[in-house]
Chains A and B, each alone.
Chain A
Amino acid sequence: MPDLLLDIRGLETQFKTTNGTVHAVNGIALGLKEGETLGVVGESGCGKSVSMLSMLKLIPSPPGKVTAGQAFFSGQDLLKMSNEEIRHIRGSQISMIFQDPMTSFNPVLTIGRQVAEPLEVHMGMNREQATKRVIDLLDMVGISQAKERINDYPHQFSGGMRQRVMIAMALACMPQILIADEPTTALDVTIQAQIIDLVKRLRDELGMAIIWITHDLGIVAGLAKRVVVMYAGYFIEEASVKELYGNPQHPYTLGLLGSLPRMDSDQRNRLVSIDGLPPVLYETPEYCPFAPRCQYAIERCRQENPSLQVVAPDHRAACWVDPQTGRAR
Chain B
Amino acid sequence: MTATNNSILLHVDNLVKHFPIMQGIIIQKQIGAVHAVDGVSFDVRSGETLGLVGESGCGKSTAGRTILQLYRPTAGSVCFGGVDLVNLRGNAMRRMRRQMQMIFQDPYASLNPRMTVGEIIGEPLIIHNVGTRKEIDERVENLLELVGLDPAFSNRYPHEFSGGQRQRIGVARALALQPKLIICDEPISALDVSIQAQVINLLEDLQQQFNLTYVFIAHDLSVVRHISDRVAVMYLGVIVELANRKDLYEDALHPYTQALLSAVPIPDPVVEEKRRRTILQGDVPSPVNPPSGCRFRTRCPIAQEICAQQRPEWREVKPGHFVACHLA
A contact set with B: CB distance below 8 Å: 43-44, 158, 160-161, 188-194, 196-197, 215-222, 241-242, 245-246, 255-264, 266, 268, 270-275, 277-278
Q: For the complex, is B156 an interface residue (Cβ under 8 Å from A)?
A: no
**Is there contact, CB below 8 Å, between A189 and B272?**
no
Q: Please tell me which one of the listed residues A194, A222, A260, A277 contacts residue B193 in the complex, with CB atoms under 8 A apart.
A: A260
Q: Please tell me which one of the listed residues B201, B221, B272, B279 contacts residue A221 in the complex, with CB atoms under 8 A apart.
A: B272
Q: For the complex, is B317 an interface residue (Cβ under 8 Å from A)?
A: no
**Is there contact, CB below 8 Å, between A218 and B192?**
no
Give, as a whole number of angstroms, the nearest-CB distance from A258 to chain B: 8
Q: Please tell me which one of the listed residues B201, B219, B261 contacts residue A273 in the complex, with CB atoms under 8 A apart.
A: B201
B contact set with A: CB distance below 8 Å: 1, 55-56, 162, 164, 192-198, 200-201, 204, 219, 221-223, 225-227, 245-246, 249-250, 259-273, 275, 277, 279-280, 283-284
Q: How far is the CA of A261 from the CA of B200 in the complex (A)?
A: 10
Set of chain A residues within 8 Å of B275, measured between Cβ atoms: 222
**Is there contact, CB below 8 Å, between A218 and B193?**
no
**Is there contact, CB below 8 Å, between A44 and B192?**
yes
Q: How far is the CA of A275 from the CA of B201 in the complex (A)?
A: 12
Q: How far is the CA of A160 from the CA of B271 in the complex (A)?
A: 26
Q: How far is the CA of A323 from the CA of B142 in the complex (A)?
A: 36
**Is there contact, CB below 8 Å, between B197 and A274?**
yes
Set of chain A residues within 8 Å of B265, measured between Cβ atoms: 196, 216, 218-219, 221-222
**Is there contact, CB below 8 Å, between B222 and A271?**
no
Given A43-B192, A197-B277: A189 in contact with B260 (beta carbons within 8 A): yes
**Is there contact, CB below 8 Å, between B269 and A221?**
yes
Set of chain A residues within 8 Å of B267, measured between Cβ atoms: 217-218, 220-221, 245, 257, 260, 262
**Is there contact, CB below 8 Å, between A215 and B249?**
no
User: What residue in chain A is nearest B148 (Cβ atoms)?
Assistant: A275
What are 24 A-to-B residue pairs whose CB atoms are below 8 Å?
Answer: A43-B192, A158-B283, A193-B263, A193-B277, A215-B192, A218-B265, A222-B265, A222-B273, A242-B269, A257-B267, A261-B222, A261-B225, A261-B227, A263-B225, A263-B249, A263-B264, A264-B268, A266-B246, A268-B226, A270-B201, A273-B195, A273-B198, A274-B198, A277-B195
Give, as a whole number of angstroms, the nearest-CB distance from B303 to chain A: 16
Set of chain A residues within 8 Å of B279, measured between Cβ atoms: 190, 193-194, 197
Give, as a whole number of angstroms, the nearest-CB distance from A113 to chain B: 24
**Is there contact, CB below 8 Å, between A259 and B283?**
no
Q: Please tell me which one of the listed residues B162, B260, B269 contacts residue A190 in the complex, with CB atoms under 8 A apart.
A: B260
**Is there contact, CB below 8 Å, between B193 and A246?**
no
Set of chain A residues within 8 Å of B192, measured between Cβ atoms: 43-44, 215, 278
Set of chain B residues within 8 Å of A220, measured between Cβ atoms: 267
Nearest first, the 10 A-B pairs at minimum CB distance are A218-B265, A261-B226, A222-B272, A259-B197, A193-B263, A188-B55, A273-B197, A271-B197, A274-B194, A263-B222
Q: Mostly helix, strand, loop or mixed at chain B's interface?
A: helix
Given A193-B279, A245-B269, A246-B270: A256 in contact with B263 (beta carbons within 8 A): no
Q: Which of A222, A263, A277 neighbours the largest number of chain B CB atoms within 10 Å of its CB?
A: A263
Set of chain B residues within 8 Å of A263, measured between Cβ atoms: 221-222, 225, 249, 261, 264, 266
Give, as a whole number of angstroms, the nearest-CB distance from B287 to chain A: 14
**Is there contact, CB below 8 Å, between B283 and A264?**
no
Q: How far is the CA of A43 from the CA of B223 in the complex (A)?
A: 18
Give, as a whole number of angstroms, the nearest-CB distance from A213 to chain B: 14
Give, as a whole number of angstroms, the nearest-CB distance from A199 to chain B: 13
Set of chain A residues within 8 Å of B246, measured between Cβ atoms: 266
Q: Please tell me which one of the listed residues B55, B222, B269, B272 contacts residue A260 in the complex, with CB atoms under 8 A apart.
A: B222
Give, as a whole number of angstroms, the nearest-CB distance from A246 to chain B: 7
Q: How far is the CA of A259 from the CA of B220 in the complex (A)?
A: 14
Set of chain A residues within 8 Å of B249, measured between Cβ atoms: 263-264, 266
Q: How far is the CA of A270 from the CA of B249 in the complex (A)?
A: 19
Q: Please tell me which one of the listed residues B194, B245, B272 contacts residue A259 in the complex, with CB atoms under 8 A apart.
A: B194
User: What residue in chain B is nearest A218 (Cβ atoms)?
Assistant: B265
Q: How far is the CA of A324 from the CA of B200 in the complex (A)?
A: 26
Q: Please tell me which one of the listed residues A188, A191, A217, A266 contacts residue B250 in the complex, with CB atoms under 8 A apart.
A: A266
List 16 extra interface pairs beyond A246-B269, A246-B270, A274-B197, CB under 8 A. A188-B55, A188-B56, A188-B219, A189-B221, A197-B279, A215-B192, A216-B265, A218-B265, A221-B266, A221-B268, A261-B227, A271-B197, A273-B197, A274-B194, A274-B198, A278-B192
Give, as a whole number of angstroms, the nearest-CB distance from B203 to chain A: 11
Q: How far is the CA of A220 from the CA of B193 in the complex (A)?
A: 15
Set of chain B residues within 8 Å of A194, measured between Cβ atoms: 279-280
Q: How far is the CA of A270 from the CA of B55 in the complex (A)?
A: 26
Q: How far is the CA of A144 from the CA of B164 in the complex (A)?
A: 42
Set of chain A residues within 8 Å of B280, measured between Cβ atoms: 190, 193-194
Q: Please tell me which one of the listed residues A44, A160, A189 contacts residue B264 in the complex, with CB atoms under 8 A apart.
A: A189
Q: Please tell me which one of the listed residues A192, A264, A278 contacts residue B263 in the complex, with CB atoms under 8 A apart.
A: A192
User: What residue in chain B is nearest A260 (Cβ atoms)?
Assistant: B267
Given A44-B192, A263-B264: A222 in contact with B226 (beta carbons within 8 A): no
**Is there contact, CB below 8 Å, between A256 and B193?**
yes
Q: How far is the CA of A197 from the CA of B275 in the complex (A)?
A: 13
Q: Which of A192, A255, A266 neighbours the largest number of chain B CB atoms within 10 Å of its CB?
A: A266
Given A259-B193, A263-B264: A277 in contact with B283 (beta carbons within 8 A): no
**Is there contact, CB below 8 Å, between B269 and A241?**
yes
**Is there contact, CB below 8 Å, between A261 and B223?**
yes
Q: How far is the CA of A259 from the CA of B201 in the complex (A)?
A: 10
Set of chain A residues within 8 Å of B227, measured between Cβ atoms: 261
Q: How far is the CA of A264 from the CA of B261 in the complex (A)?
A: 9
**Is there contact, CB below 8 Å, between A242 and B270?**
yes
Set of chain B residues within 8 Å of A272, measured between Cβ atoms: 197
Q: How far is the CA of A158 from the CA of B169 in the complex (A)?
A: 35
Give, as a whole number of angstroms, the nearest-CB distance from A87 to chain B: 34
**Is there contact, CB below 8 Å, between B269 and A222?**
yes
Q: How far is the CA of A271 from the CA of B205 in the complex (A)?
A: 12
User: What residue in chain A is nearest B56 (Cβ atoms)?
Assistant: A188
